[in-house]
Amino acid sequence: MTGRTPTLAVRADLNISLDGSASTTDQTAENPMGEDWFRLVAANAATRTFRERVLGDTSGKGTTGVDDAYAQEYFTNIGAEIMGAGMFGLHHNADDPDWRGWWGDEPPFRVPVFVLTHAPRPSIEMAGGTTFHFLDASPEEALAEATRAAGGADVRIGGGVRTVRSFLAAGLVDRLHVAIAPILLGRGLSLWEDLRGLERRYEVSSEIAESGTVHVTFRR
Amino acid sequence: MTGRTPTLAVRADLNISLDGSASTTDQTAENPMGEDWFRLVAANAATRTFRERVLGDTSGKGTTGVDDAYAQEYFTNIGAEIMGAGMFGLHHNADDPDWRGWWGDEPPFRVPVFVLTHAPRPSIEMAGGTTFHFLDASPEEALAEATRAAGGADVRIGGGVRTVRSFLAAGLVDRLHVAIAPILLGRGLSLWEDLRGLERRYEVSSEIAESGTVHVTFRR
């Protein structure tokens, strides 16, 4: 089509269990993340890229196989991110006007991040290139905003699972990558709920990592 | 352990969707199996082994890759099978004393098959080595009976999904193989329901077939 802007990809990546769970339920006061969460992300968190980019570990330690290739890809060519309020920690900190998220002083995103919330607050500029903006918007509106901010790069739908599902249901995701840990959580929020027939709109391919993680990618 | 009988494997194999569904719900009068069922088993049904063994097609046609290797393995070293009443068709034919199952005159099992039912009926000997026996028994009792009949070979838990789940929950399955079709059914009975932590009792490994099917095997 003449004059059409090249389509940039809207991407989503999630760690899920073999039974589809993308959230965990075993949090306790002693173990606020829960053990399940660690098992769900263990293979990803063990990669060299994750250790460097998220944990700030520049020692070069970490796995360098298939899982790491996906971790590298995860951080490549992203110009903006959209996340749900829960992923920013707003559900537990709604009353704290100074809440700056739980991603540290220098969050790993390094791009504009649009947090979806029914109670927007002023933007927060963090070190390292991340600025959090707060939007009360539909998936379509948020995506239009994030696309403008992305400056020609891709937009990530960061999570949580409800947010990713809403963008999938609205037909807005071009590439969905799930890293399936071969464990059964038996509870939590399933990524797959209400997505019957999703594969008909995509090419689906899979790959097994050395860790046993099954990487499944939906592309259109 | 001195005098211990070598442990024979209790095996189960199921075709499931990416969202864990092992049953289908789109049956109609015009399409009594439903379209979903064909999509769920398509890669398996396309194998040379399935075509020969189940459909009686001796032309040598069919796929010969990873899916076929699993299909061959499926039929290897099985001495007896256990199935639920539904898989024998009893739920829809309970009132027909002459019902002989829907597996044709020469069923593909070729071993004693124990059908679990609360209303046992006389055994039925079919052509080709299959004899259907009917048991009102617990998983443990049925397995003891099938093991005696298996003559030193493995016992298969054939299905359906509720039957496989009950044997898994009872800790009786040594090897579970699931062939995951990369489709989302969004409904039906999930294999994974109430099996939280199952993987802790097994080694889990995975393999991708040329068809895109993800084969996951739990072994202990």
Instruction: List pLDDT tens digits, range A120-170.
Output: 999 999 999 999 999 999 999 999 999 999 999 999 999 999 999 999 999
Residue range B176-180: mean pLDDT, rounded: 98
Q: What is the mean pLDDT of residues B134-139?
A: 98
CATH topology of domain A77-173: Dihydrofolate Reductase, subunit A (3.40.430)
All residues of chain A having their beta carbon less than 8 Å from the beta carbon of residue B18 are: 20, 192, 199, 216
pLDDT band at B3 (very low <50, low <70, confident <90, very high): very low
Other residues' Cβ atoms within 10 Å of the Cβ of residue B86: 18
What is the pLDDT of chain B when averaged over all its residues? Answer: 93
Q: Is B18 exposed, middle or buried, given 0-12, 13-18 or 19+ CB atoms closer than 10 A?
A: buried
Answer yes or no: are the C-beta atoms of B36 and B185 closer than 8 Å.
yes
Q: How far is CA A201 from CA A1, A20, A51, A168, A207, in A?
A: 21, 20, 34, 11, 20
- Could you identify the residue written with the tokens 């994030």? A146
pLDDT at A217: 98
- The per-residue pLDDT for B119 is 94
Cβ neighbours of residue B26 closer than 8 Å, sequence gap 6 or more: B34, B35, B36
**How far apart are alpha carbons A82 and A158 in whole angstroms?**
6
Identify the pLDDT of residue B7.
Answer: 58
For chain A, the domains span 32-69+182-220, 77-173
- Least Cα distance to B219 among B166, B181, B173 occurs for B173
Cβ contacts below 8 Å, chain A against chain B, sum to 75
How many angstroms separate the CA atoms of B151 and B77, rounded? 10
B17 DSSP assignment: E
Starting at the edge strand found earlier in the chain, the sheet holding A78-84 runs A124-125, A131-135, A112-116, A78-84, A154-159, A10-17, A175-181, A214-219, A203-208
DSSP B201: G
CATH of domain B1-20+33-76+173-220: 3.40.430.10
Q: How far apart are CA B39 and CA A101, in angstroms?
A: 44
For chain A, residues with pLDDT lower than 50 are 1-5
- What's the pLDDT at B47? 97
Q: How far A211 CA lies from chain B's nearest CA (Å)?
A: 10
pLDDT at position B2: 44
Q: Which residue of B has its CA nearest to A205?
A: B212
Q: Chain A contacts of B212, Cβ < 8 Å?
A: 204-206
Per the CB < 8 Å rule, is B18 touching A185? no
Condensed to tens digits (0 to 9), the pLDDT of residues B193-211 reads 999 999 999 999 999 999 9
CB A12 within 8 A of CB A179: no
- Please list the helix, strand and coil fractions of chain B in percent, rounded to the nearest 5, in that order: 30, 25, 45
Residue B5 predicted with pLDDT over 50 = no
Distance of CA A130 to the CA centre of its chain: 15
Q: Does A216 sit within 8 Å of B192, measured CB to CB?
A: no
Instruction: Check residue A8 and give its pLDDT.
Output: 85
What is the structure's pLDDT at A7?
Answer: 58
| pLDDT score at A30 | 80
